[in-house]
Amino acid sequence: MTNEAMEDPGISSRERDTRFMENSCCTHFCLGPNPFIARYVYAILFLLASLLAWAIRDYGRSAISAFRRLKACHGARYCLGAEGVLRISFGCFLFFFVMFLSTAGTKKLDDRRNSWHSEWWPAKIIMWMGFMVVPFFIPTAFIQLYGKIAYLGAGAFLLIQLVSVISFITWLNDYCRSKKNVKTCRIQVLVLSIAAYVASILGIVLMYVWYAPKPTYRLNILFITLTLVLLQFMTFVAVLSKVKEGFLSPGLMGLYVVFLCWSAIRSEPQTEIWNQKAQAAASADWLTIMSFVISVLAMVMATFSTGIDSKCFQFKKTEAESEDDVPYGYGFFHLVFAMGGMYFAMLFIGWNAHKTMQKWTIDVGWASTWVRIVNEWLATLVYGKY
d(CA 256, CA 165) in angstroms, rounded, equals 9
- For residue 101, pLDDT beyond 90: yes
CA 305 to chain CA centroid, Å, is: 7
- For residue 6, pLDDT beyond 50: no
Query: Of 278, 306, 376, which Cα lies nearest the Cα of 42?
Result: 306
d(CA 149, CA 282) in angstroms, rounded, equals 32
Per-residue confidence (pLDDT) for residue 166, from 0 to 100: 84
Give 271's Cβ-side CA count (13 Å radius). Answer: 4
Task: Judge whether 81 and 152 are in contact, CB under 8 Å.
Answer: no
- For residue 370, pLDDT beyond 60: yes
Max Cα–Cα distance, the chain, nearest Å: 87
Per-residue confidence (pLDDT) for residue 79, from 0 to 100: 54
Q: Give residue 363's pLDDT band: very low, low, confident or very high (50, 70, 90).
A: confident
Over residues 273-332, the pLDDT tens digits come to 454 445 544 444 665 677 678 778 888 888 888 777 666 655 454 554 567 778 888 889
Phi-psi map region of 349: left, alpha, beta (phi>0 left; psi -120 to 50 alpha) = alpha
Q: What is the mean pLDDT of residues 320-348?
A: 85
Query: Of 84, 85, 92, 97, which Cα lies nearest the Cα of 129?
Result: 92
d(CA 207, CA 261) in angstroms, rounded, equals 9
Predicted TM-score (pTM) of the model is 0.79
Per-residue confidence (pLDDT) for residue 94, from 0 to 100: 96
Length of the chain: 386
Q: Give residue 204's pLDDT band: very low, low, confident or very high (50, 70, 90).
A: very high
Q: Which residue has the higher pLDDT, 275 or 268?
A: 268
Q: What is the mean pLDDT of residues 198-217?
A: 88
Per-residue confidence (pLDDT) for residue 374, from 0 to 100: 92
> Quick one: DSSP state of residue 361?
-
d(CA 23, CA 35) in angstroms, rounded, equals 19
Beta bridge partners of 108: 325
**Buried b or exposed e, range 298-318, using 16+ CB within 10 angstroms:** ebbebbbebbbbbeeeeeeee
Number of CB atoms found within 10 A of residue 243's CB: 12
The average confidence (pLDDT) of the chain is 78
Asked whether the CA dihedral 260, 262, 267, 272 is positive or negative, the reply is positive
Q: Is 366 exposed, middle or buried (0-12, 13-18, 19+ CB in 10 A)?
A: middle
Rounded to the nearest 10 degrees, what angle do helices 35-59 and 285-307 cross at? 140
Query: Of 74, 37, 80, 31, which Cα lies nearest the Cα of 59?
Result: 80
Phi-psi map region of 32: left, alpha, beta (phi>0 left; psi -120 to 50 alpha) = left
> Quick one: DSSP state of residue 317?
P
Q: Could you give the 3-state DSSP secondary structure of residue 110?
A: coil
Asked whether the CA dihedral 150, 151, 156, 157 is positive or negative, the reply is positive
d(CA 353, CA 74) in angstroms, rounded, equals 10
